[in-house]
Structure 1
């Protein structure tokens, strides 16, 4: 830290006493300009400031200073300030930020006669999580004060040392204070200790401790632990049952043959008619997000068809949608039947999610539901059904998909029109990849009778799935009233025709719309006919610079594809 002159020092110290908290905060920021011997004591004093913003600035300066170690004894002394909780808590945070360098002083202070100081010291050690404090924390498990013992147990869970499991389990079993036993259970849980279910029987009957005990059992691979957790889901308080569900899910999520066996044990233990299954169904609809996420995963693990509708309803919550869809997929094709039975009662969101689910479940039952949805009254549902039928490659759905594309093109709502039309177009393109004839025939029949949006989507689909024999249909669209349709048709001709139709493309070179002329230039670039050189050369005189650039690029591509002969022809024409 650099030094400042006397006037600056006095002004700075005066600002620390200002009635304006922003002035004090800025003064704290400037304290680092003083020598460490002055700055650190001043920063520690400012931890008692009534403004949390000033205290926060002091904490940040103390933890960032190279001479932080000089502040640690003063910070430990501040832990004893029982009259100013703000200062005490700020000192605790600052010590935690100091990290391992604070541990030796904290360990010494842990012998303080003041129980509050010992408690605060242990909290600081917990925040630091340095393994070198483990030995002293073990000693503090026998401190006369229950709060200190509980804090020590919690702190041991932050050190990540497996050797601590035995003394922590002893605290669970033998300590007389519920607080200490609960803290020890949480520490074991954080350490992911594998504790036998038999060792926890004394706490499983305690309403205040059983939830923590269930959570701990989620790390065990023992079948006995799963049996205990299954019973925990069946009865008890909500927090305990939630903990048991989360522990079961965690147990079964581990990889390996042991987890497969545990999952099978869970399926045998929770039937669709039991209290545990009923609780999971109920909990999937309401409660804390963590609890709902766990039961949704559990229902997927159980794979009972009775869970399908509740999972669909839970999936309408965006926070649960993807997890619920994963669980529904785990149930498999048997999920289609309950969806069909409940379809009239499902809301729009649930129906949309059901269509997403059925997209990966091919079969007559799924196809029947999706076909019904495609003909329903809600465009959002119809769009999802369209995508699902496209994923199925459902040729029989082509007429309905074309109807949907025509319907949404006529709604007049641009945002909805584009969303829903794109869904039907995607589906038709997907089906057309397998059965192009059916899709092309259905589209061509309607191209002359529908609006711009339909014709544009149709031209783009023809580009994707059309065959050389479909060239005539695209050629007709090159004279469409809509410039966007004409350009899509020109691009489609280049993609579909075995040999680019030069007459149609030359007409498009004279189109009033620059985009169409650009599309025609790109299409001519793939022709091997030497006569297109003069056509492309004429584009060099186009009034639109974008068209001129497209013509030049097309000349380059044509020449590259035609080889030396093409280069010679290009030079002769351009000369």
Structure 2
């Protein structure tokens, strides 16, 4: 480390016997944004006897993506104290470079469930193709949290070889959140290969999965999904009906006209708004009369959506 007067001025506090003083000194050190201060932060994370200091060091290291930092944060995932592990996991989750992913990957095979979960969560947004084999294996993990994070990795990668496994999870995984995540990840395909799994998900016992299925069917973009989405407009949960309404507009599914017009009179304003927007996307001038009647809706967001729809049709 080169001599840096600002860092040297902090040395007495960084080495103080009082943990609170060391913790504040680390914050001041990070504020300097000097590369020479990195070794202090890494050493504090690895060696400081105080939980609060190690946790603070882990949190402050989120701004750095050097290999030694990523490695130290991965090691901190095995710290005896939950506060340190949580801070390290959070810092790893904001990594952005593929280089960091190369350091993370070996940790995806760690024996500890919480370590693997944090690593897959960190790998997700890196979109590192090399992470796909580990994520595919993790789809069969006994832990639902790991399966859920692995689905996220494959979905963000748009990894088409995972479609069959994702469809299986969407239909049969015992965990609701895994089914929901897998259903959403099926949107990485833009053909009819995934439709059977999405249709099954649209009938899932959990409304959260049905909601995700209704959204994903709109993203896949297959006109043949329209009939199933019209059926979803009768779902007992308004959240599912809202997503189905929006997807019908995206698909420009003309047979949905009457059902969407009926939705303009729903008691929930968000659903009325989506119905108006979808009617505009449908492009059928038969909706003009109903939209004009809705132009003085009590909700300003609905009125705005109606104006947009009317402009599209006129």
The Cα offsets for residues 386-405 of structure 1, whole Å up to 9 and x where unpaired, read as: xxxxxxxxxxxxxxxxxxxx
- Cα 1:153–1:115 shift into 2, 3 Å: same
Q: How far 1:139 sits from its partner (Å)?
A: 1.0
Name the counterpart of 1:145.
143
Q: In structure 1, how many angstroms separate the alpha carbons of the residues matched to 2:80 and 2:205?
A: 34
Q: In structure 1, how many angstroms separate the alpha carbons of the residues matched to 2:199 and 2:141?
A: 25
Q: Show the 5 A alignment for 1:140-179.
A: 140-179=138-177
Name the counterpart of 2:295.
311
Contact 1:48/1:55 (8 A) holds in 2 = no
Residues 1:327 and 2:314 aligned together:
no
Quote the RMSD (CA, aligned, Å): 3.4
Contact 2:10/2:25 (8 A) holds in 1 = no
Name the counterpart of 1:74.
72
The Cα offsets for residues 452-510 of structure 1, whole Å up to 9 and x where unpaired, read as: xxxxxxxxxxxxxxxxxxxxxxxxxxxxxxxxxxxxxxxxxxxxxxxxxxxxxxxxxxx
TM-score (norm 1): 0.47
Contact 1:169/1:185 (8 A) holds in 2 = yes
Q: How far 1:278 sits from its partner (Å)?
A: 2.7
Q: In structure 2, how many angstroms separate the alpha carbons of the residues matched to 1:45 and 1:188?
A: 44
The Cα offsets for residues 110-168 of structure 1, whole Å up to 9 and x where unpaired, read as: 11111111111111111322222112111111112122112111221111333332321
Contact 1:103/1:125 (8 A) holds in 2 = yes
- Cα 1:53–1:86 shift into 2, 3 Å: closer
Q: In structure 1, how many angstroms separate the alpha carbons of the residues matched to 2:242 and 2:91?
A: 32
Worse-matched range after superposition: 134-143 or 201-210: 201-210
The Cα offsets for residues 46-98 of structure 1, whole Å up to 9 and x where unpaired, read as: 996489987654422x33xxxx1112221112223463346524444246425
Q: How far 1:28 sits from its partner (Å)?
A: 3.1
Q: How far 1:293 sits from its partner (Å)?
A: 4.4
Q: In structure 2, how many angstroms separate the alpha carbons of the residues matched to 1:58 and 1:131?
A: 25
- Cα 1:48–1:94 shift into 2, 3 Å: farther
Residues 1:294 and 2:295 aligned together:
no
Q: How far 1:321 sits from its partner (Å)?
A: 5.4
State the secondary structure of the residue aligned to 1:166: helix
Q: In structure 1, how many angstroms separate the alpha carbons of the residues matched to 2:272 and 2:154?
A: 30
Name the counterpart of 1:281.
265
Q: In structure 2, how many angstroms separate the alpha carbons of the residues matched to 1:14 and 1:233?
A: 64
- Equivalent of 1:125 in 117, 123, 127: 123
Q: In structure 1, how many angstroms separate the alpha carbons of the residues matched to 2:75 and 2:166?
A: 30
Contact 2:30/2:37 (8 A) holds in 1 = no
Q: In structure 1, how many angstroms separate the alpha carbons of the residues matched to 2:72 and 2:130?
A: 22
Name the counterpart of 1:352.
none
Q: In structure 1, how many angstroms separate the alpha carbons of the residues matched to 2:312 and 2:224?
A: 26
The Cα offsets for residues 365-396 of structure 1, whole Å up to 9 and x where unpaired, read as: xxxxxxxxxxxxxxxxxxxxxxxxxxxxxxxx
Q: In structure 1, how many angstroms separate the alpha carbons of the residues matched to 2:159 and 2:151?
A: 12
Q: How many residues align?
A: 304
Name the counterpart of 1:13.
14
TM-score (norm 2): 0.80
Q: In structure 1, how many angstroms separate the alpha carbons of the residues matched to 2:2 and 2:46?
A: 19
Q: In structure 2, how many angstroms separate the alpha carbons of the residues matched to 1:36 and 1:27?
A: 9
Name the counterpart of 1:25.
27
Q: How far 1:205 sits from its partner (Å)?
A: 1.8
Contact 2:59/2:91 (8 A) holds in 1 = no
- Cα 1:81–1:246 shift into 2, 3 Å: farther
- Cα 1:279–1:98 shift into 2, 3 Å: closer
**Unmatched segments (≥5 aa) in structure 2:** none
- Cα 1:137–1:22 shift into 2, 3 Å: same
- Equivalent of 1:59 in 26, 39, 62: 62
- Cα 1:59–1:221 shift into 2, 3 Å: closer
Q: Show the 5 A alignment for 1:397-412.
A: none
Q: In structure 2, how many angstroms separate the alpha carbons of the residues matched to 1:39 and 1:3?
A: 17
Q: In structure 2, how many angstroms separate the alpha carbons of the residues matched to 1:210 and 1:73?
A: 40
Contact 2:295/2:306 (8 A) holds in 1 = yes
Name the counterpart of 1:194.
191
Between 1 and 2, higher relative CO (CA 8 Å, sep ≥ 6) is seen in 2
- Cα 1:86–1:308 shift into 2, 3 Å: farther
